Amino acid sequence: MFRRWATFVSALALGLVAIAAVYMIGMARLEDEPRGFLESLAWAAETLTNTGDNRSEPWRHPLMLLFAISVQFAGVFLVFLAFPVFVVPFFERRFEERLPTRLPPKLRDFVLIYRYGPAVSSLMEDMRREGIPFAIVEEDETEARRLRSRGHRVALSRIEEEDPLANGLERARALVLNGPDDANASLVLGARERGFAGPIYCFVQNPLHRQPLMLAGATAAYSPKHALAAALAAQASDRISPRIAGLQLLGEHLELAELRIQPTSPVADVSLKDAGIRERTGASVVGLWVGGELTTRMHPETLLHAGAIMVALGSAESLVRLGRRATPLPRTGPFLVAGYGEVGTRVVALLRDVGEEVRVIDQQELPGVDVVGDALDTGALRSLRIEEARAVIIALASDSSNLFATAIVRDIAPEVPIITRVNRAEEVSRVRAAGADFALSIGQVAGQLLSLRLFGEEFVSLEPDMRVVKATSRGIAGLTPITSRIREETGCSVVAVERGGEILVELGGAFTFEGKDTVYLCGSGDAVARYFERHPKGPPPTSHPATRS
């Protein structure tokens, strides 16, 4: 800013001198009325700022008149140039809050994050909900101000000027590096050289850089885009195992699935009680997506709307039985992948590796692309016989394109399952509302990759405001899941019981809680709090934040 002002002032001074010199020469040679330099300089300043009265000047020569008019117009232009480019930014910077370049000295035992981005957004929300302190070191001033306005601890520091982690490293419990791969490598080496012994987790842009970062001293290095691709492929095909997303294992028995209720389903537009899902399938419905909004407190009278998406927990077998009731018409045919970028390419490779038939549409003519065209063009989509697809996986670059493509596909093929890739986690609900059966963001995948390591707990990955907690059976021993009225009174669902080292998922109508049981409850944060208000004698619960992956 100082150099900009110095350049402006210098150019203005030279301009005034030049105008004054031309004015001196013109008055002497064209008007035959010589003027001194200071008098000419005063005229130049008054005319350029439009504060003088030039009507008193005895100009007769046309060139002098044109020169005076030009200087006046130049002065008007100078005002409009100077204010937005120099004056306004100066006062904005003068009165704007200065960003801290150091983290608070009292902050201890916190997670230090280098560079904000989609990969760390969901992780930050998890840590906020769990009360784990964290701070961000950001290099982009605009991003830093936005984060600070949202209430986050942030320090502005640039790696080319200083070590961004120099202040606060010795007080951190873990590092999460989300910058370019070369910057991450430099920070890993610097942290280890300074004696930091805590875990360092890196998100890499190029998967080939994972091993070099590990050799440099990183505890673990992840490629969120590749993990996202694997999650989308696993959601699409049951041949891909282990399930990375959409069907997340807890131990070896409890799984998660999201299933759309087709209009022909026997549970469509039926209450949860009348559908008898727990009794007939063994699975528990713990949430319901309707029009992009998630309902987490399930009552016996909750209506299972046709077209809604059930979030269910249960054994693999119980979820298969539920799937047959929710989506009674099994689909066949190829998978259609829209977008052949980094994520789309990986999705196609995973599906083809397990023997699935895949058709690809992309705007670029590349090996592996079946149709060169725009995924937002209905004609191009119809040429792939989209109505015959087993599922459509949308993996375009931008969230707006993914949203629009989801709406187009849903309009063309109302019955085809749609799996959509999302960049920002906050866009998931909008994509759901547009018609996606399953939507997953890079942030949610990355958050799950680190949640277990940072929180030190095993968890089932559901929705942002849904968690699984462990509790004892105190207060409910001798009761059944129905007579305990846990769901009606708290909003939590009993999804599994651990007894004698065995996880019981399918709890029949005659099942009774025993005194030494460990009960797995699923619900929102408020529902969990209500349960422990009702049963306060148990030890503090071990909570597991739920970020869909």
Per DSSP, 25 falls in state: H
Tell whether 136 and 85 lie within a shared domain.
no
Q: Is 182 exposed, middle or buried (0-12, 13-18, 19+ CB in 10 A)?
A: exposed
Last residue of a domain, one of 385, 416, 447: 416
Residues 471 and 524 in one domain: yes
pLDDT tens sequence across 4-60: 667 777 877 888 888 888 888 888 888 888 888 888 888 888 887 776 665 556 677
How many domains does one find in the chain? 4
Within-domain flag for 72:
yes
Question: Using CA atoms, how far apart are residues 491 and 215, in angstroms rounded to an integer?
Answer: 48
For residue 31, tell me if it sits in a domain: yes
- The chain-wide mean pLDDT, for the chain, equals 82
Query: Of 66, 95, 124, which closes a domain?
Result: 95
Domain hosting 34: range is: 2-95
Domain of residue 10, CATH code? 1.10.287.70
In a domain, residue 77? The reply is yes
As a whole number of angstroms, the distance between CA 403 and CA 421 comes to 9
pLDDT in tens, 367-409: 999 999 999 999 998 888 898 899 999 999 999 999 999 999 9
Each of the 549 residues of the chain gets a pLDDT tens digit; together they read 566 667 777 877 888 888 888 888 888 888 888 888 888 888 888 887 776 665 556 677 888 888 888 888 887 777 676 666 666 666 555 545 577 888 888 888 999 999 998 888 888 887 887 788 999 999 998 899 899 888 899 998 887 777 777 778 889 999 999 999 999 999 999 999 989 999 999 999 888 899 999 999 999 998 888 888 888 888 788 777 544 333 344 455 667 777 888 888 889 999 988 988 888 888 888 888 887 777 877 888 889 988 888 888 887 788 888 888 887 655 678 999 999 999 999 999 999 999 999 999 999 999 999 999 999 999 998 888 898 899 999 999 999 999 999 999 999 998 899 999 998 888 888 998 899 988 888 887 887 777 667 765 444 445 656 777 778 888 898 898 888 888 888 888 888 888 887 878 878 778 899 988 888 888 877 888 888 888 875 444 444 444 333
- Within-domain flag for 241: no
**DSSP string for residues in 127-166:** HHHHT--EEEEES-HHHHHHHHHTT--EEE--TTTS-TTT
Could you tell me how many helices (H) and strands (E) the chain has, helices first?
19, 23
Residues 136 and 55 in one domain: no
Is residue 149 located within the same domain as residue 91? no
Assess whether 38 and 121 both reside in one domain: no
Q: Could you tell me the two tokens for 27?
A: 């008055």
Buried b (16+ CB within 10 A) or exposed e, 399-415: bebbbbbbbbbbeebee
**Is 120 in the same domain as 213?**
yes
Domain for residue 451, yes or no?
no
pLDDT 10s digits, 436-470:
988 888 887 887 777 667 765 444 445 656 777 77
Query: Do 82 and 158 share a domain, yes or no?
Result: no
Same domain, 90 and 121: no
- Asked whether residue 76 is assigned to any structural domain, the reply reads yes
Let me know whether 507 and 535 are in one domain.
yes
Q: Residue 40 falls within a domain, yes or no?
A: yes
The number of beta carbons lying within 10 Å of the beta carbon of residue 23 is 23
130 lies in the same domain as 73: no
Sheet of 172-177, strand order: 154-156, 134-138, 110-114, 172-177, 200-203, 220-222
CA distances from 232 to 75, 347, 375, 407 (A): 61, 7, 18, 18
pLDDT at position 367: 92
CATH number at residue 198: 3.40.50.720
Residue 205: inside a domain: yes
What is the C-alpha to C-alpha distance for residues 185 and 444, in angstroms, rounded to an integer? 24
Residue ending a domain, choose from 222, 247, 262: 222
Strands 284-290, 309-314: pairing kind: antiparallel
Residue 534, class by beta-carbon neighbours within 10 Å (0-12 exposed, 13-18 middle, 19+ buried)? middle
Question: For residues 496 and 519, what is the distance between their CA atoms, to the nearest angstrom?
Answer: 6
Note whether 131 and 166 are same-domain residues: yes
Same domain, 518 and 475: yes
